Amino acid sequence: MATGTQELGQILPVDGIRIAAVSAGVRYKNRLDLVLFELAPGTRSSGMFTQNAFCAAPVVIARQHLLGSAGAARYLLVNTGNANAGTGPQGMTDAQACCQALAAGAGVDVQQVLPFSTGVIGERLPAERIVAAVPDALAALQVDNWLLAAKGIMTTDTRPKAVSRVVNVAGQKVTLTGITKGAGMIKPNMATMLAFVGTDADVDQVLLDSLLRSAVEQSFNRITVDGDTSTNDCCILSATGRSGVQISHADPVMFEAFSSALHELVLELAKLIIRDAEGAKKFVTVDVRGGGSSKECLLVAYAIAESPLVKTALSASDPNWGRILAAIGRAGVENLDVSRIDIYLDSVPIVKQGGLAPGYHEALGQSVMNQEDITLHVELGRGDVRELVWTADLSEEYVRINASYRS
């Protein structure tokens, strides 16, 4: 179950990146579960990782290797079916063994291999299966395997998620392509997913880090399905430089065009996660305006987006606006003046100045709630700050998926 169209548009290869997706039998036989990215020499990579204190062994190692190689990663090794989280020292040993096998097979330093895992928490990683599949992955590397990789990193996802953008300024052309996975255990704090974005632009390390942080903050860090932050989420941005087009503040037109394209791409990937949220029937935008600060706008937005009562009402297409009102009131905004608050379902006013909007009747709200895409719009009347958060409804299917996740 998912919302929106499955059409992805054209997914473009990125010069300097080759990809493979093979079956290693990590959890299931004959299923794509091992994805390998090969990054050309000279590629710079930046990463953002989960803030969960129980971060998985591959997260710890990927951070260390990215730092140790000064961003000069050559290979990204991704497995599904097993998170290698909550596995203690053995998990670190197993993740390192996979990195060492790939480094030996590819002839690179082990610190140039970054490992990533997703799947069940608390079970030992079958490293020997991954090690055995590394030669197959190296042999299968191709430039046009982005969509295959998007399928290979899926877990409870029902559809692959991939986006491409092209920047063309004064005859200088740059390509960006990204894939992501995630459907449940989705909550900001880096958001809960794996994401890999590549570009053939030439971007220095400091600027690359800055661009990734900015893009993630307004995209992957603005989505929530169930309020749970994973142990494994990571986002990697790799710039191969193969286009010969340098991105810097010295060329403000190209810089702005590239930055905008990157922000659009990762936001689209983040929205694809919400559209494929476990059991989702609704794609919901929570738009909070008139805040005195970003913090208080986000407090309100997440109180609404993560309220089980609001989310189940959305699932039932029930215009029970009292649940939205209650969520705003408990969000924790200091000195909240409820007499200034307006609430809308799309453009339909349901609350004005803290009370039922004049002229509102349930048929108006019902017409909006029957839609697949819905905006819950809140005006706080405290300032001029605005924040957007994207979420989904909470359905019986979500409960079924997560009740039987390990079976």
Residue 407's pLDDT is: 56
Q: Which residues of 167-198 are buried (b: 16+ CB within 10 A; e: fewer)?
A: beeeebebbbbbbbbbbbbbbbebbbbbbbbb
Q: How would you classify the pairing of strands 246-247 and 194-199? A: unpaired
Give me the active site residues, please: 192
Residues in the chain with pLDDT < 50?
Answer: none
- Report the 3 state secondary structure along the chain: CCCCCCCCCCCCCCCCEEEEEECCCCCCCCCCCEEEEEECCCCEEEEEECCCCCCCHHHHHHHHHHHHCCCCCCEEEEEEEECCCCCHHHHHHHHHHHHHHHHHHHCCCHHHEEEEEEEECCCCCCHHHHHHHHHHHHHCCECCCHHHHHHHCCCCCCCCEEEEEEEEECCEEEEEEEEEECCCCCCCCCCCCEEEEEECCEECHHHHHHHHHHHHHCCHHHECCCCCCCCCCEEEEEECCCCCCEECCCCHHHHHHHHHHHHHHHHHHHHHHHHCCCCCCCEEEEEEEEECCHHHHHHHHHHHHCCHHHHHHHHCCCCCHHHHHHHHHCCCCCCCCHHHCEEEECCEEEEECCEECCCCCHHHHHHHHCCCEEEEEEECCCCCEEEEEEEECCCHHHHHHHHCCCC
**Contact yes or no for 341/297 (Cβ under 8 A):** no
Residues contacting residue 53 through CB under 8 Å, at least 6 positions apart: none
pLDDT digits (tens, 9 = 90+) for 353-403: 999 999 999 999 999 999 999 999 999 999 999 999 999 999 998 888 888
Give the sign of the dihedral formed by CA 181, CA 24, CA 97, CA 54: positive
Sheet strand arrangement including 283-291? 355-356, 348-352, 342-345, 373-379, 283-291, 385-392
Q: Can 17-275 and 283-403 be said to share one CATH topology? A: no
Backbone angles phi, psi at 339, to 5 degrees: -70, -10
Q: Which CATH architecture has domain 283-403?
A: Roll (3.10)
Rounded distance, CA 173 to CA 402, Å? 44
Structure tokens at 229: 């932050």
Rounded distance, CA 377 to CA 107, Å? 54
Rounded distance, CA 341 to CA 377, Å? 11
- Please name the amino acid found at residue 276: D
Residue 31's pLDDT is: 93
Residues contacting residue 367 through CB under 8 Å, at least 6 positions apart: 348
**Contact yes or no for 332/299 (Cβ under 8 A):** yes
Residue 125's pLDDT is: 97
**Contact yes or no for 201/22 (Cβ under 8 A):** no
In the chain, what are the domain boundaries? 17-275, 283-403
Q: Which CATH architecture has domain 17-275?
A: 4-Layer Sandwich (3.60)
**Contact yes or no for 175/14 (Cβ under 8 A):** yes
Give the angle 38-21-260 at the CA atoms, nearest 5°. 60
pLDDT digits (tens, 9 = 90+) for 221-256: 999 988 887 888 899 999 999 999 999 999 999 999
**Contact yes or no for 380/288 (Cβ under 8 A):** yes
